[in-house]
Amino acid sequence: MSDNTAAIHTALEELTGLPTPVHAWRVKEGLDATDDPAVWVWAIIDEADYDAEALHQVKDMARAVVRSTVPGLWPYVLVRGLGEPDPTT
């Protein structure tokens, strides 16, 4: 895990007041389709808790965390279910 990835992961873990539970965060750094430095963040949720409106807020919060933690990385935030494959393996 790179320093950027670790810092973002820690900041996400410290998020409070989430409108819906996030079981875990997954973070991956790389280059996006335009070759710009980027980070992909997945909020791993229990599918039974799926609430589209609450997840919009979670994603907004995660994007803000990435932008404040490592300003040079463009944030892409996605959602996966607990029973779905781990995106970082």
For binding to other proteins (CB under 8 A), which residues are involved? 32-34, 38, 45, 47, 50, 52, 55-56, 59-60, 63, 67, 74, 76-81, 84-85, 87
Residue 86: φ, ψ to 5°: -70, 125
Nearer to other proteins by Cβ, of 10 and 46: the residue is 46
Distance CA 21, CA 60 (A): 15
For residue 52, the minimal CB distance to other proteins (Å) is 5
Signed CA dihedral, 42, 19, 22, 54: sign only: negative
For residue 10, the minimal CB distance to other proteins (Å) is 23
